[in-house]
Amino acid sequence: MIELKNTTKLYNDVIGVNDICLNLQAGTYGLLGPNGSGKTTLINLILGQLKPTIGSVTLFGVNPWKKSKLLRRVGLCPSVEVNYPRATGLEWVTYMVQLHGFRFTAAEKKAKEALEFVGLTHAMNRPMRNYSLGMRQRAKIGQAVAHDPDLLILDEPFNGLDPIGRHEMSDFLKSWASQGKGLILASHILHEVEAINPSFLLISGGRLLASGSPAEVRNILADTPYELTMRTSAPKQLATLLIEHCEIESVRFTSKTEILFSTRSAAQLFKIIPELIHQHQISITEIRSTDDSLNTLFSMLMKLHRGELLQGGRS
């Protein structure tokens, strides 16, 4: 489906992506990386919006920079906001479908179907300036899927969505993936992508640091310290119990009721917590994961990449 051969993209003296080699067959992929890691540049290279400085890119076996016709097979939901305040959702999506070569009547029919698919039928005749962030996000998804593409590319689709919206987005992506069509999901939040169960592409500093199945990435994650903040009425008791029963790297009391744990065995920790609070009648009011785990993972991968860290261990 997508092939990149030693692809490098330079913006003058800034590196967008750096010597990436990829061969992706049709399937679901999670493109993970911190902000500014080169995800959008990689997507734009795949779509032929940018020309590689070095190397080559092919999409469905064709150079996308030269053959824009193949974009008919791709649906893109970019991370940027829709900026047509006066247009209604239906007008905008119809126009977007028309640009795929459909006549107005056919485009409007497809737009209505897509907006129904994303649950926006009730608001499709309202100007988009009155849409909430979640509704605009749905309209963006609508314009990406309306022409029934073979490959759907979503850049940070969870941005700005509330918990219900995130859940609905996950459900939608799962149903799309189950149709056997191509899906690339770019995000900087690991657990959101993980819910779709894709193959991972981990990118940072413009480099592809690792790729593989969820199991393979979990193996990498297994060595990554995982930080968890808990709010409880008995912080000292809980800390003692967790240290006794689990491999805890460090414990820090951040306030009278809050403790920050760092562990390399997150799975073990999650398994033991319910048992301990049940046995010892400890009340936990909040469990919060700092999303630093992903940053830690990338930092570790960068060190591995530079040879500063031995695989599976510490430096």
Partner 1 sequence: MRNILQNAFATCLFEIRSSFTVQRTSVSLVLALFPPVMLGLLILGARLSRNGISNSIFQDFTSLLTITLIALVSLLSLILWTTPNVSAELEGKSWVFIASRPGGRLSIFLGKYFAACSVSFGICIIAISLCTLLIDSQIPNEDAGRFWISLCGIFFLACLVYGGIFSLLGTLFIKRAMTFAVGFVIGSDIIMGSVPGVLMNKFSIRYHLQEISLQWLGWFLPGSSEEGYRLVFGEGYSVTVHILIILGVTLATLSLGAWSIVNREYITAHEV
Q: Which residues bind partner 1 (CB under 8 A)?
A: 11, 14, 16, 40-41, 44, 47, 49-51, 68-72, 74, 76, 78-84, 86-87, 91, 95-96, 98-101, 103-104, 143
Shortest gap between Cβ of 32 and partner 1 (angstroms)?
18
Q: Which residues of 160-181 are buried (b: 16+ CB within 10 A; e: fewer)?
A: ebeeebbebbbebbeebbeeeb
Residue indicated by tokens 């951040």: 254
Amino acid at the residue 15: I
Q: In terms of CB distance, is 92 or 261 closer to partner 1?
A: 92
Instruction: Name the 3-class secondary structure at 136.
Output: helix
- Residue 59 or 304: which CB sits closer to partner 1? 59
Residue 310, phi then psi, degrees to nearest 5: -85, 140
The distance of closest approach from Cβ of residue 53 to partner 1 in the complex, given in angstroms and rounded to an integer, is 10
Task: Report yes or no: 262 and 247 within 8 Å, Cβ to Cβ.
Answer: no
Q: Classify the C-alpha dihedral 38-44-49-55 as positive or negative.
A: positive
Distance, first Cα to last Cα, the chain: 38
Q: Alpha-carbon distance 315 to 304, whole Å?
A: 9
In this structure, the strands spanning 248-253 and 258-263 are: antiparallel
**Shortest Å, Cβ 43 to partner 1:** 9
CB closer to partner 1 out of 14 and 164: 14
Nearer to partner 1, 110 or 293 (CB): 110
Closer by beta carbon to partner 1, 81 or else 171: 81
Question: E strands within 106-190?
Answer: 151-155, 182-187
CB of 77 to partner 1, least distance (A): 9
Query: What backbone phi and psi angles, to 5 degrees, belong to 81?
Result: -75, 150
Residue 268: CB minimum distance to partner 1, A: 40
Q: How far is the CB of 6 from partner 1 (least distance, A)?
A: 19
- Six token digits for residue 230: 């808990």
* Closer to partner 1 by Cβ: residue 127 or 225: 127
